[in-house]
Structure 1
Amino acid sequence: MALRPVQVNIKALDDSLVGRFWAEALGWGVSSEGPGVTNVEPGAGFVWPDPVAVCIDVVTVPEPKAASKNRVHLDLATTSAAHQAELVARLRALGATPADVGQGDVLFQVLADPEGNEFCVLEPREIYRDTGPIAVVVVDCVDPRVMARFWGEALDWSLHEVTDDHAVLRSTAGVGPYLEFLRTPGVKTVPDRVHLDLLPYPGDDQKVEAARLRALGATDLDLGQGDVPWMCLADPEGHEFCILGTS
């Protein structure tokens, strides 16, 4: 039994606006499974779910983003200094704005999408040359070792590195983005604007998987979701995530 991250869920006042931005940013396509939802995923040849990409679902909600920095964000990969500069300029033209999250003097660029969701455009790094446009899904946390124990058991991904400052996982297939838990100051105080959606494998039971994660330290979460085919939980530090249905 195991779960696989299949999409990053982003809440938005305007799912179409934010979805179009991310589709243009990543060079992916858009579709919709229903009103208020914009799906962003690679184009021709991609069949969901595939570890080669963690897709994006943008879902409309009535509440705007809080003033605080998101505890989950994306890092985008680049292949050269010129590519990084070109990508930043293109994203600015699409509506991204510079963001100051206290990063100081760094080689990567911090931007925010049209609704203020922060993300980074990394300088070229050899480790991310085969990830696709999303290099890393980054989760701020208090204790990366605690996150490594939970998420290392929750997912079928491989644990690549664990230190006091960060924990890094990636699909056992060796493709797609990395998942990094990064030690950061402060604690979670508001609901996550961005979270992971997990999918059981065919034949695995969603409720059994939820029970397994509760035994690892997850807790049930009521966000007012009502009767829906997914299950909402939170990890040991309170980061929300959803377990999708397989049908």
Structure 2
Amino acid sequence: MYLENLVFDAVDPQLLGRFWETALGCEQLTDEPAGYETRLTVEGGPVLDLCFQRVPEAPTDPPRLHLDLVGGAGQGDVVERLLGLGARHLDIGQGDVPWVVLADPAGNPCCVMEERATYADTGPIAALPLDSADPERDAQFWSWLTGWTESPRLAPRSLRHPSMKGPLLELCSEPSPKGPAKNRLHLDVRLEAGDDPDGVAAGIAERGGHELHPGWGELPWRSYADPSGNEFCVLPAPA
């Protein structure tokens, strides 16, 4: 299994997809009425597809997953560039911090980070912070699920692609428990040839996750929640 997608719920997938495609220097994959997809390739590291799927209403619950972007010595220039693409400054009560909090055109928070040695070789996305009720437990869960490994960190636990390139997946102590609303951003994992879908489902359950049955009809993927309730999908192996 491997981490393949970062999925955004969006009222206007084209608007949001083109913003992030330009912001991150991605390559467009698809542009269809129901969604937009673009690909981020980290040289020598992971390939992540950003998928923007249409939803009828804008999400309102606080996000449990967001993007931290590389700023470093050029932090101010990065901020100005994103503002020029349609982002805006956002106050979420962060106070006096060395990073800059912005909202993308759909209102999703993102941060432009200061210089940190741990962000070497990440590419434009420094980290993917994910809220967790138990970072130690959830780091073990996501490491098993994705094959990503422990990385030096500032967050309670951080994982990274085995190449030690690309963004960190940071398991952060949640400010409040997961509510009933679906996360506005979620991750997708792809099975590889030879992976047994039912065996993977059993492994997820053994590690504290569970399968979801949202009633969306027959789909080629299966939906799950991690031990802290964060939704993710397991996609079938490539044909």
TM-score of the two chains, using structure 2 as the length reference: 0.91
Please give the per-residue CA displacement for 1:2-47, whole angstroms capped at 9, x wherever unaligned: x21111100100110000010011011223174312111137x98x
Q: In the alignment, what sits opposite 2:150?
A: 159
Structure 2 residue aligned with 1:125, among 116, 129, 151?
116
Structure 1 residue aligned with 2:51, among 26, 33, 57?
57
RMSD: 2.1
SS at match of 2:47: coil
Q: What letter is aligned with 2:166? A: G
Q: In the alignment, what sits opposite 1:246?
A: 237
Structure 2 residue aligned with 1:147, among 126, 135, 138?
138
Say whether the 8 Å CA contact 1:221–1:232 is kept in structure 2. yes
SS at match of 2:56: coil
SS at match of 2:66: strand
Say whether the 8 Å CA contact 1:230–1:243 is kept in structure 2. yes
Say whether the 8 Å CA contact 2:6–2:187 is kept in structure 1. yes
Q: In the alignment, what sits opposite 2:163?
A: 173
SS at match of 1:54: strand
Q: In the alignment, what sits opposite 1:205?
A: 196
Structure 2 residue aligned with 1:72, among 65, 68, 75?
65
Q: In the alignment, what sits opposite 1:17?
A: 15
Identity %: 37
Q: For residues 33 and 237 of structure 2, what CA distance do their matches in structure 1 show?
A: 21
Say whether the 8 Å CA contact 2:17–2:52 is kept in structure 1. yes
Q: In the alignment, what sits opposite 2:79?
A: 88
Q: For residues 33 and 45 of structure 2, what CA distance do their matches in structure 1 show?
A: 27
**Pairwise CA distance, 1:206:** 2.8
Q: For residues 220 and 186 of structure 2, what CA distance do their matches in structure 1 show?
A: 17
SS at match of 2:94: coil
Q: In the alignment, what sits opposite 1:220?
A: 211
Q: For residues 42 and 184 of structure 1, what CA distance do their matches in structure 2 show?
A: 27
Q: What letter is aligned with 2:159? A: L
Q: For residues 97 and 11 of structure 2, what CA distance do their matches in structure 1 show?
A: 31
Structure 1 residue aligned with 2:38, among 40, 51, 55?
40
Q: What letter is aligned with 2:218? A: D
Q: For residues 30 and 185 of structure 2, what CA distance do their matches in structure 1 show?
A: 18
SS at match of 2:80: helix
Q: For residues 15 and 162 of structure 1, what CA distance do their matches in structure 2 show?
A: 33
With 34-43 and 56-65 compared, the bigger mean Cα shift is at: 34-43
User: What is the 5 A alignment of 1:84-123?
Assistant: 84-123=75-114
Say whether the 8 Å CA contact 2:72–2:113 is kept in structure 1. no
Say whether the 8 Å CA contact 1:69–1:118 is kept in structure 2. no
Please give the per-residue CA displacement for 1:145-198, whole angstroms capped at 9, x wherever unaligned: 1212322322211123689x6110011122211100111321111210000000
Say whether the 8 Å CA contact 2:13–2:54 is kept in structure 1. yes
Say whether the 8 Å CA contact 1:54–1:176 is kept in structure 2. no
In structure 1, list runs of 5 or more residues that go unmatched.
Answer: none
Question: Are positions 1:187 and 2:177 aligned together?
Answer: yes
With 201-210 and 180-189 compared, the bigger mean Cα shift is at: 201-210
